[in-house]
Amino acid sequence: MIKKKSGTPLSSKLSRDVFFGTSEDLPQIMEIDLADISPNPDQPRKTFNQQSLQELAETIAKHGLIQPITVKKADTGKGYVLVAGERRLRAFELLERTSIPAILTTGNSEEIALIENIQREDLDPLEEAEALDLMIERHRYTQEQLGAIIGKAQNTVSQTLSLLKLPPVVREQYKSVAHVNKSILSEIARIKDDKQQIKLWKQVAQGKLTTVKAARKGQVGRPKAADPLAETAVKTGKRFAQALETLEKSTASLDRESFQSLLEIHERIGTALNKISKN
């Protein structure tokens, strides 16, 4: 039977059963009061879906806790700091439980939390990028060193960190757009122009772009190729305008008949443009 006293080890049999009969050399599982656990200030996961938490709570209520949370002793010497398992901890709070099984660790809490979230695919791409960037800043890791710690290739770490180059508006709006995957975000991040990135993001967020091909070529937001007839009209119009400017600057006089012809051309251009604009 599990004791409810905070920090009390569970029985060795229960510890072995939790890990399916593995060695007793494994870290001991403790039963810890929820009131003695402080949140992890470096939790990489920033958003928690309330419906998902409720479903997890219902599963725990029915089947029990399959995987204990991970904690470390607080620097103050009083209580514990959560390292990994915040969703499970929150689910226990929803169930109004007073204690929870936990594994006490002495390892690097940031690394453990990040690794667990990545392995469980609990982080969205931007949360992962921010967590990796924080690790590099705090511990001066190279991308290769950090990749070795979390079990990812250096180029994967680099690709993830590139997401931090996205404009702030894109990073903020991404939180509410669940259907956009990491690969297309990476393609947007590769585009150098901020305005082009935002235009492309709007297309993606609206569901008008679902592949990375257009993103890679940066086609979204560019004007469509002009119709050949339109190109001809524009070129002719530019030559006409240049001819009038030359005539204006010259000392040559314009006879009445030529002046009337130019006025008629001007009216025809205006009439044609008015009709085209309504098409």
Identify which has the larger pLDDT, 5 or 130: 130
Q: What is the pLDDT of residue 166?
A: 93
User: Where residue 93 falls among pLDDT bands split at 50, 70, 90?
Assistant: very high
Q: In what order do the strands lie in the sheet with 80-84?
A: 8-9, 29-33, 99-104, 69-73, 80-84, 37-38
Check pLDDT > 50 for residue 217.
Answer: yes
Contact 59, 51 (CB under 8 A): no
- CA distances, 23 to each of 7, 20, 177 (Å): 21, 9, 45
Q: Quick one: pLDDT at residue 222?
A: 46
The dihedral built from the CA positions of residue 132, 134, 135 and 139, taken in this order, carries a sign that is positive
- pTM metric for this prediction: 0.47
Cα 134 from chain centre: 15
Q: Which residue has the higher pLDDT, 127 or 11?
A: 127
The share of the chain scoring above pLDDT 90, in percent, equals 10
Picking from 2-11, 137-146, 255-264, which range would have the lowest pLDDT averaged per residue?
2-11
- Amino acid at residue number 257: E
Instruction: Label residue 162 by pLDDT band (50, 70, 90).
Output: very high
The pLDDT of residue 221: 43
Cα-only R_g, the chain: 32
> How high is the pLDDT of residue 27?
56
Amino acid making up residue 65: L
Which two structure tokens, joined as six digits, stand for 24? Answer: 């007793």
Question: Taking all residues of the chain, what is their mean pLDDT, rounded to a whole number?
Answer: 76
